[in-house]
Amino acid sequence: MTDKSPDKSPIELRVPHKDDGYRLHQLVAQCPPLDENSIYCNLLQCSHFAETGVAAEKNGDLVGFISGYIPPRQPDTIFVWQVAVHEKGRGQGLAKRMLNEIVARDACSDVTHMETTITEDNQASWALFRSFARDRGAELTHREFFEKDTHFGGEHDSEYLLRIGPLAKS
């Protein structure tokens, strides 16, 4: 008889390194509907933007990743570019753990707000960021940011900019 219980192995959260770039590319490919970036872009996310990203490993596998950065004109804001959680990491609150990991980093010591963009139909992401805002006692506002026809040539749904803050330190 095969044990079909979920794998309860611990998930380690850490700063990404450039060796994670290709693995990140593979992870995103396994997490539709996420947009795949080039491997080169993923290498930059894991090197230039490592301090504002989180890699989640379980049994040596990359099961989660958040890429983010602090926009040059908004030093008080962390922009979350992409949240990827492999099925091996789902159902464990991993995405929210990774968000909390980022804002606790020294690189985010001046951060008081978090931003991201989400399509209207991505209910899982809306739920994640609403829950994060609620846990932090922060207001969540949103507005259309990248419009379907104007910015995506009609080939991608509009993206809404969510802004959360000010963030209470946990």
pLDDT digits (tens, 9 = 90+) for 21-30: 999 999 999 9
pTM, 2 dp: 0.91
Contacts of 90 (CB under 8 A, 6+ apart): none
Per-residue pLDDT tens over the stretch 66-122: 999 999 999 999 999 999 999 999 989 999 999 999 999 999 999 999 999 999 999
Confidence category of residue 1, pLDDT binned at 50, 70, 90: very low
Least confident of 4-13, 49-58, 77-86: 4-13
Separation CA 56–CA 97 (nearest Å): 10
DSSP alpha helix (H) spans, the chain = 21-29, 39-47, 94-103, 123-136, 148-152
pLDDT confidence of residue 3? 41
